[in-house]
Amino acid sequence: MRFFVDTADVAAIAELNDLGMVDGVTTNPSLILKSGRNILEVTKEICSIVSGPVSAEVVALKAEDMIAEGRKLAEIAENIAVKVPLTWDGLKTCKVLSDDGLMVNVTLCFSANQALLAAKAGATFISPFIGRLDDINLDGLELISDIRQIYDNYGFDTQILAASIRTANHVTQCALIGADVMTAPPSVIKALATHVLTEKGLDQFTKDWAQTGQKII
């Protein structure tokens, strides 16, 4: 499974990238707002740090405008994946941009039928939102499983990019189901290293070592 980091925080991206934990980046208008920076400038800087796909989202609602915005965003760097919403206009945009040879990430997916349409429109990535489905008492992980089966049944090349990841369990289950990619905030990725027994064991080792009175260096 590839790890994308869901942020526009350049420092956080660089830190995880140095550890080999970043295969790509996803951004959205909310994350750009949080960064407080110009979308073109911050996206260009992110693309200079990360060699993998960097999703930059259009904000228009009509296909004609989305296409224009998508082509503008794609000029930033070769590793831009234009992010479009899963609406009819978004699907039209996906078809045009994918035919142009651009990577397209179709986002805000909440059903298997939507994912099927995105694949037929030539999406590079489909982004089902796990956490937001869980928020309304639906099973986000079941959606990942359904999409995986449909794509495998018909040999679609569209990659499943599990999004709205909230917990370490989400990551584990997505990996078991066979999602191609997951995107999560830096805090969630770092939390994957945490386990109460690791902390307990390290604490005991530290106390025992202190009693030896020894030093390695």
> Hey, which residues are catalytic here?
83
Sign of the dihedral defined by the CA atoms of residues 74, 32, 27, 50, in that order: positive
**What 8-state DSSP symbol labels residue 169?**
H
Whether 134 contacts 140, CB under 8 Å: yes
Annotate 68-103 with DSSP letters as a single string: HHHHHHHTS-TTEEEEEESSHHHHHHHHHHHHTT-E
Q: Rounded to 5 degrees, what angle do the CA atoms 74, 75, 79 make? A: 55
Inter-CA distances, 111 with 9, 29, 39, Å: 30, 22, 29
